[in-house]
């Protein structure tokens, strides 16, 4: 017997994960409701996309809207570090020695992607565009509705929220939690496990008038995302173009540095960037136009990502670390892959846990690859630089940087090699990279859910 419900699918949260899944499902004719706690547009961290978002945007029919939305085009990524002057560059293949590594997306063809750029986005505008897009496809969207909890009954789930003094319960057949780092269901069902290794924090803001080419060696690349390494352990800065004149800048650091800052974000931010005088100088000549915003405790996994009548997508399922700008792409691709299982399950009439098996497998594999790539990056940074420069591995590393981790099987060869080499270096004190080992050390077992 089919239970009596208000909607087939109830989606909690209208960020990229929520509006993407709403778009896929509404387009296929399911009745969906999206409940978003904020009034859009609202500011949000996570402004630099990677190309794996492109096929998803194209699929749901939003790519042309985004392309015409005036978001800066992102053709590649670059890394800079403070070089000690005693390190010879020796005409190495990197275009300007060890000072930086860089990649351009056009160097590698990617299935489903016909453009050699992705975007940097003002998330206020981007998320609004996507949410309205899902509405145009038939999803019912309520903003300013903060969900309090989900009540699980046999066939029906009740999504509970308050309207004035009244408590309302919407009845749905399947709950998709896309509530981001609020992790509504993860907390309610006590599924959340803080990451034992990653404990990074970030402080970020926007600057007007920053000379983005000040640190770019090649002016053409001024609109790449820049990752500037600071000479402080595991600390780096992002530089992301938001408009012609506005640039998002954030410092990511270990929790201990962050705690020591005692919530004095301004002085902390300034002290951190001061360790790269060229960067500090460029920042002084520009004007800060948003308050400093801290982000913390963002690395975690979930014991389960789906169950009878519920599933988690995007940050609500997992987040590791922002170093490779993978967040929005994981949000949108997890939504895409979840929607395939949901549509299949809707036809067969039940949303039991077994119907989400493919989703779980694919998510675990993709996020597992990300996790490992990120761990190795922090553990042995020089390996990343060497692999980017090495013609044997460059394409494979680029594949990861493009976010192309969902539909192939197995893990990228470069990742396997990186893991082997890291082990060598760890075990052999005579290895020339041994003293480059970082302090973050990921457990060797597969990441848990």
Ligand X SMILES: Cc1cc2nc3c(=O)[nH]c(=O)nc-3n(C[C@H](O)[C@H](O)[C@H](O)COP(=O)(O)OP(=O)(O)OC[C@H]3O[C@@H](n4cnc5c(N)ncnc54)[C@H](O)[C@@H]3O)c2cc1C
The Cα–Cα gap between 27 and 5 comes to: 20
The Cα–Cα gap between 311 and 305 comes to: 6
Choosing among another protein, ligand X, none, which partner's interface includes residue 331 (Cβ < 5 to 8 Å by kind)?
A: ligand X
Choosing among another protein, ligand X, none, which partner's interface includes residue 436 (Cβ < 5 to 8 Å by kind)?
A: another protein
Choosing among ligand X, another protein, none, which partner's interface includes residue 89 (Cβ < 5 to 8 Å by kind)?
A: another protein
Tokens at 356, concatenated: 């989400």
344 contacts: CB under 8 Å, gap ≥ 6: 355
Of residues 309 and 314, the one with the C-beta less far from ligand X: 314
| Contact yes or no for 227/236 (Cβ under 8 A) | yes
99 contacts: CB under 8 Å, gap ≥ 6: 80, 81, 83, 89, 217
Q: Rule CB under 8 A: choose which of 85, 111, 348, 435 binds another protein.
A: 435
Smallest distance from ligand X to CB 44, Å = 5
Residue span binding another protein (CB under 8 A) among the ranges 53-61, 263-271, 309-317, 380-388: 380-388
Choosing among ligand X, another protein, none, which partner's interface includes residue 178 (Cβ < 5 to 8 Å by kind)?
A: ligand X
Smallest distance from another protein to CB 313, Å = 38
Of residues 48 and 339, the one with the C-beta less far from ligand X: 48
Q: Is 104 in the site for another protein (CB under 8 A)?
A: no
> Which of left, alpha, beta for 314 (phi over 0: left; psi -120 to 50: alpha)?
left
Torsion of CA 239, 196, 190, 302, to 10 degrees: 60
Smallest distance from ligand X to CB 121, Å = 9
| Contact yes or no for 299/319 (Cβ under 8 A) | yes
Residue span binding another protein (CB under 8 A) among the ranges 102-110, 205-213, 364-372, 429-437: 429-437
192: helix, strand or coil: strand
Work out the widest C-alpha separation in the chain, in whole angstroms.
75
For 79, phi and psi rounded to 5 degrees?
-120, 135
Site of tokens 């209208």: 14
Of residues 315 and 372, the one with the C-beta less far from another protein: 372
For 208, phi and psi rounded to 5 degrees?
-105, 135
Q: Is 96 in the site for another protein (CB under 8 A)?
A: no
Choosing among another protein, ligand X, none, which partner's interface includes residue 85 (Cβ < 5 to 8 Å by kind)?
A: none
Q: Is 416 in the site for another protein (CB under 8 A)?
A: no
Smallest distance from another protein to CB 434, Å = 8
Choosing among another protein, ligand X, none, which partner's interface includes residue 298 (Cβ < 5 to 8 Å by kind)?
A: ligand X
Angle between helical axes of 357-379 and 327-348 (0-180°, round to 10): 170
Residues that bind ligand X in the complex, under the rule CB under 6 A: 12-18, 35-38, 44-49, 146-147, 178-182, 184, 202, 250, 295, 298, 314-316, 319, 322, 325, 327-329, 331
For 276, phi and psi rounded to 5 degrees?
-125, 90
Residue span binding another protein (CB under 8 A) among the ranges 87-95, 130-138, 167-175, 318-326: 87-95
Q: Is 85 in the site for another protein (CB under 8 A)?
A: no
Tokens at 126, concatenated: 């981007």
Tokens at 49, concatenated: 């996309």
Residues binding another protein (CB under 8 A): 86-93, 98, 382, 385-386, 389-390, 392, 417, 420-421, 424-425, 428, 430-433, 435-436
């Amino acid at each position: 017997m089919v239970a009596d419900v208000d909607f087939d699918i109830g989606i909690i949260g209208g960020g990229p994960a929520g509006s993407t899944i709403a778009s896929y499902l509404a387009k296929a004719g399911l009745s969906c409701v999206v409940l978003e706690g904020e009034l859009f547009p609202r500011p949000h961290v996570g402004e630099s996309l990677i190309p794996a978002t492109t096929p998803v945007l194209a699929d749901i029919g939003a790519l042309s809207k985004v392309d015409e939305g005036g978001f800066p085009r992102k053709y590649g990524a670059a890394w800079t570090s403070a070089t000690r002057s005693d390190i010879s560059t020796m005409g190495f293949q990197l275009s300007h020695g060890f000072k930086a590594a860089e990649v351009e997306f056009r160097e590698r063809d990617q299935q489903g992607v016909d453009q050699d750029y992705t975007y940097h986005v003002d998330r206020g505008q981007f998320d609004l565009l996507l949410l309205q897009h899902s509405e145009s496809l038939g999803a019912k969207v309520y903003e300013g509705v903060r969900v309090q909890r989900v009540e699980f009954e046999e066939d029906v789930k009740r999504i509970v929220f308050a309207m004035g003094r009244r408590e309302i319960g919407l009845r749905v057949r399947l709950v998709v939690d896309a509530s981001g780092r609020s992790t509504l269901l993860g907390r309610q069902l006590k599924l959340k496990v803080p990451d034992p290794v990653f404990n990074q924090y970030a402080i970020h803001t926007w600057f007007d008038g920053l000379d983005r080419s000040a640190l770019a060696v090649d002016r053409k690349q001024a609109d790449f995302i820049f990752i500037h390494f600071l000479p402080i352990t595991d600390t780096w800065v992002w530089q992301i173009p938001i408009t012609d004149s506005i640039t998002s800048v954030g410092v990511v650091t270990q929790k201990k540095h962050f705690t020591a800052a005692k919530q004095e974000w301004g002085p902390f931010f300034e002290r951190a960037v001061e360790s790269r005088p060229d960067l500090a100088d460029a920042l002084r000549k520009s004007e800060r136009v948003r308050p400093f915003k801290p982000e913390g405790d963002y690395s975690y996994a979930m014991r389960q990502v789906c169950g009878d009548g519920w599933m988690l997508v995007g940050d609500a399922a997992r987040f590791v670390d922002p170093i490779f700008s993978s967040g929005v792409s994981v949000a949108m691709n997890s939504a895409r892959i979840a929607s395939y299982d949901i549509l299949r399950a809707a036809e067969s009439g039940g949303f039991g846990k077994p119907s989400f098996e493919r989703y779980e497998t694919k998510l675990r594999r993709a996020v597992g690859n990300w996790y490992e790539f990120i761990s190795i990056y922090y553990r042995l940074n020089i390996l990343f630089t060497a692999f980017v420069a090495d013609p044997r591995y460059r394409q494979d590393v680029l594949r990861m940087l493009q976010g192309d981790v969902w539909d192939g099987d197995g893990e990228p060869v470069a990742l396997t090699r990186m893991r082997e080499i890291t082990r060598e270096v760890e075990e052999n004190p005579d290895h020339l990279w041994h003293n480059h080992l970082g302090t973050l050390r990921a457990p060797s077992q597969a990441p848990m859910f």
